[in-house]
Structure 1
Amino acid sequence: MDNQTLQKRVEAISLESFGRPFRHQATFNSRLRTTGGRYRLADHNLDFNPRMAELPEFDQIIKHELVHYHLHLTHRGYQHRDADFKALLKAVGGSRYAPRLEGNRRSIKRWRYECSSGHIIERQRRFDTRRYRCGRCGGRLTLLNPQEN
């Protein structure tokens, strides 16, 4: 899907679901990673994540951004926490959250320590074993190999 097809799709969904025209630009923005789309307050344009364009929930993502768009232009509560936003989103059938993409998850590095009594301690941050002791028994700690989750 290219930007012209996206523009036509957004305009069609706007007329169909909201009964109002979409008069600004809708484009793909490849810098978006975890979000499905973005409504820009300054120029009223919409950006969409191109990796989510092939998902079956993409129309719901478009509706979500159009809810921001139409509420902001009518001077009503357009933020996620506002009652106007929640009510209109539910009425048009938009998605509240963007779906998770496969491969978007990074593995977390964990540092494993073992105390002299055999307790295993896992931490996300490395620390100096000369300064700290085991919280259970007070034994000395030694660093084991970091584990990838």
Structure 2
Amino acid sequence: MNQTELQVLVEKVSREWFGKPFLHKAEFNNRLRTTGGRYLLSSHNIELNQKHYEEFGEQELIDIIKHELCHYHLHIEGKGYKHRDSDFRMLLQKVDAPRFCKPLKSIKRRKIVAQYLYECSKCNQRYTRKRKVDTAKYVCGKCSGKLLNIN
């Protein structure tokens, strides 16, 4: 799918599901990695992740377009367009748009590995941390005992 086909698709989805025209620009943005799309407040344009279309097909892309069009139409109308707003959630339900897109399989996700293990000298409570803790400055959260590094 190229940019002009995407523009036509977004305009079609807007007319069919919202009954309103989409008057701005829709385009693929290859720099998007963790999201399916985004609505730009300043320009009213919509950017979509082409990898979602390639991995999951046209229906997933249409679902992402519906989600972004909810932001678009509510923002233009001056209503609550953010994820936490009730106007946004009601419109998502009305047009059957997902709140989140499917995670891409092609993106490698880093696992968070705890590198440091600490134990309280009084109550033996264990703490795992990614970063080093200054044991002279911090104490156990349960009993205020001294922390010992067990590595």
Task: Tell me the TM-score range normalised by the shorter chain.
Answer: 0.7 to 0.9
Match of 1:81 in 2: 84
Counting matched residue pairs gives 141
1:14 to 1:132, Cα distance in 2 relative to 1, 3 A: same
Amino acid at match of 1:141: N
Deviation at residue 91 of structure 1 after TM alignment: 0.6
Deviation at residue 132 of structure 1 after TM alignment: 8.3
Amino acid at match of 1:50: Q
Match of 1:107 in 2: 111
Aligned partners of 1:65 and 1:101: how far apart in 2? 18
Aligned partners of 2:139 and 2:80: how far apart in 1? 51
Deviation at residue 127 of structure 1 after TM alignment: 3.9
Contact 2:18 2:95 in 1 (8 A): yes
Q: Does 1:6 align with 2:14?
A: no
Match of 2:42 in 1: 42
Contact 2:29 2:47 in 1 (8 A): yes
Match of 2:53 in 1: 53
Determine which structure has the larger helix proportion and give its number.
Answer: 2
Match of 1:93 in 2: 96
- Comparing 53-62 with 35-44, which one deviates more in the overlay? 53-62
Q: Does 1:62 align with 2:65?
A: yes
Deviation at residue 109 of structure 1 after TM alignment: 3.0
Amino acid at match of 1:48: L
Match of 2:149 in 1: 141
Q: Between the two proteins, what is the percent identity of the paired residues?
A: 44
Contact 1:133 1:140 in 2 (8 A): no
Match of 1:123 in 2: 129
Contact 1:114 1:120 in 2 (8 A): yes
Aligned partners of 1:41 and 1:77: how far apart in 2? 13
Amino acid at match of 1:125: R
Deviation at residue 104 of structure 1 after TM alignment: 4.2
What is the SS of the residue equivalent to 2:80? coil
Q: Scaled by the length of structure 1, what TM-score is found? A: 0.77
Deviation at residue 90 of structure 1 after TM alignment: 0.6
User: Residue deviations 1:55-86, cap 9 Å, x none?
Assistant: 24221110000011111112222122222211
What 5-or-longer segments of structure 1 have no aligned partner? 144-149
Deviation at residue 112 of structure 1 after TM alignment: 4.3
Q: Scaled by the length of structure 2, what TM-score is found? A: 0.76
- Comparing 60-69 with 77-86, which one deviates more in the overlay? 77-86
What 5-or-longer segments of structure 2 have no aligned partner? none
